Chain A
Amino acid sequence: MEFEFSKDEELWQWAVKDFAERELGTQELATLDHIPRDILKKMGDLGFFSLRVPEEYGGNPATWVMIGMLAEEIAKTSIAIAHAIMVSYEVSLPLATYGTDRAKDEWLSGLTKGNKLGCIALTEAGGGSDVNETRTIAIRDQDGYLIRGEKMPVSFGTQGDVGLLFAKTNPDIGIGGLTALLVPLGLPGIRKSEIKTMGLFPSAPCSFTFDGVRVPAEYRIGKEGEGFPIHAGMGLFSDFNQIISGLIALGAAQTAMKLAVSYSKERVAFGRPIVKFEAISEKIAENATLIEAARWLCYRALALKDRGGSNRKEAAMCGWWCPKVAYQAIKDSLLIHGHAGYCDDHPFQQMLRDIVAFEMISGTENILKLIVSHKTIGLVAVPDSVSDHFGYC
């Protein structure tokens, strides 16, 4: 058993860290309403979007662990940019694995180079955890599909170039009727409406209305009815979403802790630095412990994936627990700063707003614990009404 990153992985981590400090640490990104395209381009040039993408589309071989390191290191400086990286992979990797040559030729290189930004159009107003409720439909029309329906919220929807959309090609059946389609977001029949959020502003979500939007049949990703296994909520890519969003949250938490440590060494009360008070130092110690445990859980889940083993249980554990650990660490760091931490002179209030999004991104805590229950207890622990879904997991 080894708790070591490989030499390649360490070098990669160093390169990402260096970029983040140099290019991201020097600017105010968290309050922008978009991700600056020049940053995406620079990251594309450095290969940040190329991991595990086939080489003919500009990709590079890499371990899953390396994608985790990328997300964690970037999130230490910018939660939103790390979010953009995660979502970009959630479009490019299914496209690389299940896409037709045409879809790959037209979109994959752009995503890999950071010229194009992707988004995931999955959730609808009527159904979050429950994808059975998907109402958006894609009807076969000769050599294409006609899409009708609404999706919300879609992170990066306002600025994204292409969406991976999940729609029912067979509305009469549940999740078995769900199909994934690549949808260029400039097509006629698409309307966007911006959603103002409480945080994670650069991810700028929107709601989409698709009113008879036509995409070529070759933009279908995977077979009809295979959408559910592909999608990032509970399908084959859900472990990726659960682990990577966990590492993003923990990356941010490490920065909050670092700031709290230096503040509590400098701030004096009752004649000594407040870090001399155990109420402060123990809080820091406790959060450091939890973050360390949670990080290794994430990397263990990624290492399992690299070895081709099942990581469903570990990934779902990451999904519910890591954002919780991060929330607590950031909130404690805010409170250690007192009222100063509550206003925008410090990054904590923004980080805390941002991290709440990560408490929702992989689905509710309840649904993630249900996956853990399923894996540790068995199908007996899954309510009958939900058990359909677990056939795929």
Chain B
Amino acid sequence: MVFFTEEQKRFCQWVRAFALKEFSEGAKERARLDYVTPGVIKKLADTGLLELGTTAKYTKKPMDYVTIGIAHEEICKVEFPAMIVLLIQYLVYGLAEWMSDELREEVLPATSAGKRLLCFANTEPDCGSDAAAIKTTAVRDGDFYIIRGEKTSISGGMQSDAVVMTAKTDPEAGVKGITLFYVPLTAPGVSRSVFRDMGNIPAGRASLIFDEVRVPATFRIGEEGEGFSKVMRTFDVSRVLVGLAALGLAEASLAEAVEYVKTRTAFGSSLSRFEGVSFKLAEHATRMEAARLLCYKALKLRDEGLPHSKEAAMAKWFAPSCAVEATHDVLLIFGNRAYSEVHVAQQRWRDAISCQIGDGTAEIMKLIVAREMLGPKFSPTM
């Protein structure tokens, strides 16, 4: 990437080599499991990739956002299921400064060591895109809060030890009534069930039900009513990271197609010699490169402290869409053989679609972009 610093370039080389060395073997089989293997988590933790924090105060390895993006792209080229683990660790460090000392002590060492897996929960059965419409409540009871409600569509929900979640501490106050909590999923009153998805199976997407779950008040993150703004702030990065993860996956798919079309022959020449095939690959390479640059631009803006919500939203709808189209065409280029349930091309296509849905639909992203372009007065109303 042209604008990477020397240090970022070195990190990129290192993490690419690391991913290839550590995750190439067995990646295909792991993609079909319904959990992220402890081996993968341990390898990520051992190299410090689970403390991708930007706040030097709380992490041994402060990193800029571009570097965090590089980690997502490169790891997901080889081990896509690692995405949810990387994403959530980033999110935790993003929220660390608002945690109580007690909570930081409880959470940070264990998560960066890969010993505690976290997930993030906002979506509920009746609201996804409309994030402020949540119904889960947290009622103060002395030194505790009592949480009631249902969260759904939670990536990593089945496997995680704890959740960072939103709940309303003041149901009358709209977005200003939303507060963030850290909730151990081993707490009494928590139950979970899994969705059987078409792809990204290791994410173990789940519904979490909270039936009068008591959590210490020290597990609140930030003040009451600050949850929505804090979450939205972190979304501006996680959206880009999902985009880069999807692109990493699609880059791997494209690379596999490039090798295949050189060796497969039809009508006496390699498939690559037919424009109908090779130009399709060229088109996807172009779109994916544009999407990549957009993603890194958004992260770079964030690193420089500049506004980047628009770019992040652009990246979130565009990059996964490029990834899905590319993996779909690659699947069709491989033809019948890729229709087999063990073929990597169909796996990557099924996985890529998950990135189009998670972390915000294309419609919400386009709304954000439109608002930035048109201003609130002339934007579509919600």
Residues of A contacting B333 with CB < 8 Å? 364
Any chain A CB within 8 A of the CB of B378?
A: no
A128 touches B195 (CB 8 A): no
A357 touches B339 (CB 8 A): yes
Any chain A CB within 8 A of the CB of B129?
A: yes
Which A283-337 residues sit within 8 Å CB-CB of chain B?
327, 331, 334-335
CA distance A352 to B354 in the complex (A): 14
A345 touches B357 (CB 8 A): no
User: Which of B22-30, B134-142, B262-270 has 4 or more CB atoms under 8 Å from chain A?
Assistant: B262-270
Residues of B contacting A127 with CB < 8 Å? 266
CA distance A360 to B334 in the complex (A): 10
Any chain A CB within 8 A of the CB of B259?
A: no
A342 touches B354 (CB 8 A): yes
B357 touches A338 (CB 8 A): yes
CA distance A385 to B276 in the complex (A): 15
A130 touches B350 (CB 8 A): no
A153 touches B336 (CB 8 A): yes
CA distance A383 to B342 in the complex (A): 34
B241 vs chain A, min Cβ distance (A): 18
CA distance A60 to B260 in the complex (A): 47
Residues of A contacting B205 with CB < 8 Å? 339, 342-343
Any chain A CB within 8 A of the CB of B307?
A: no
Residues of B contacting A130 with CB < 8 Å? 265-267
B267 touches A268 (CB 8 A): no
Which A327-383 residues sit within 8 Å CB-CB of chain B?
327, 331, 334-335, 338-345, 349-350, 352-353, 356-357, 359-360, 364-366, 369-370, 383
Number of interface residues of B (CB under 8 A): 49
Any chain A CB within 8 A of the CB of B127?
A: yes
Of chain B, the residue at the smallest CB distance from A363 is B335
Any chain A CB within 8 A of the CB of B331?
A: yes
Partner pick for A343 among B197, B268, B341, B349, CB 8 A cutoff: B197
Given contact pairs A279-B366, A366-B274, A342 touches B331 in the complex (Cβ within 8 A): no
B340 touches A343 (CB 8 A): no
Given contact pairs A352-B198, A386-B267, A339 touches B332 in the complex (Cβ within 8 A): no
A197 touches B266 (CB 8 A): no
A385 touches B197 (CB 8 A): no
B335 touches A364 (CB 8 A): yes
B196 touches A343 (CB 8 A): yes
B277 touches A385 (CB 8 A): no
Residues of A contacting B306 with CB < 8 Å? none
Of chain A, the residue at the smallest CB distance from B274 is A366
A337 vs chain B, min Cβ distance (A): 9
CA distance A197 to B341 in the complex (A): 4
Interface string of B325-351 (1 = CB under 8 A from A): 000100111011101111100100110
Which B166-214 residues sit within 8 Å CB-CB of chain A?
195-199, 205
Residues of B contacting A341 with CB < 8 Å? 357
Of chain A, the residue at the smallest CB distance from B125 is A340
CA distance A334 to B356 in the complex (A): 11
Partner pick for B197 among A338, A349, A365, CB 8 A cutoff: A349
A196 touches B267 (CB 8 A): no
Number of interface residues of A (CB under 8 A): 48
Given contact pairs A129-B266, A339-B123, A349 touches B357 in the complex (Cβ within 8 A): no
B260 vs chain A, min Cβ distance (A): 12
B269 touches A369 (CB 8 A): no
Any chain B CB within 8 A of the CB of A269?
A: yes
A269 touches B129 (CB 8 A): yes
Any chain A CB within 8 A of the CB of B128?
A: yes
Of chain A, the residue at the smallest CB distance from B349 is A356
CA distance A199 to B361 in the complex (A): 26
CA distance A364 to B340 in the complex (A): 17
Partner pick for B198 among A195, A338, A342, A365, CB 8 A cutoff: A342
Given contact pairs A153-B339, A385-B269, A338 touches B332 in the complex (Cβ within 8 A): no
Given contact pairs A127-B266, A342-B197, A385-B269, A280 touches B363 in the complex (Cβ within 8 A): yes
Any chain A CB within 8 A of the CB of B1?
A: no
B358 touches A132 (CB 8 A): no
Any chain A CB within 8 A of the CB of B353?
A: yes
CA distance A197 to B349 in the complex (A): 14
CA distance A340 to B196 in the complex (A): 10
Partner pick for B128 among A153, A278, A339, A366, CB 8 A cutoff: A339
Any chain A CB within 8 A of the CB of B283?
A: no
Residues of A contacting B196 with CB < 8 Å? 343-344
Any chain B CB within 8 A of the CB of A5?
A: no
Any chain A CB within 8 A of the CB of B153?
A: yes
Residues of A contacting B336 with CB < 8 Å? 123, 128, 153, 360
A7 vs chain B, min Cβ distance (A): 40
Any chain B CB within 8 A of the CB of A1?
A: no
Residues of A contacting B354 with CB < 8 Å? 342
16 A-B contacts (beta carbon < 8 Å)? A128-B335, A195-B340, A198-B346, A269-B130, A277-B363, A278-B380, A335-B357, A335-B362, A338-B357, A343-B196, A343-B198, A356-B349, A364-B333, A365-B276, A366-B277, A369-B276
Nearest first, the 6 closest Cβ-Cβ pairs linking A and B are: A349-B198, A366-B276, A343-B195, A270-B382, A339-B153, A196-B341
Q: A335-B357, A343-B205, A370-B276 are in contact. List 14 more A-B contacts (CB 8 A).
A: A129-B267, A153-B336, A195-B340, A197-B340, A269-B133, A277-B363, A335-B361, A339-B128, A339-B195, A342-B354, A343-B198, A356-B328, A360-B339, A365-B332
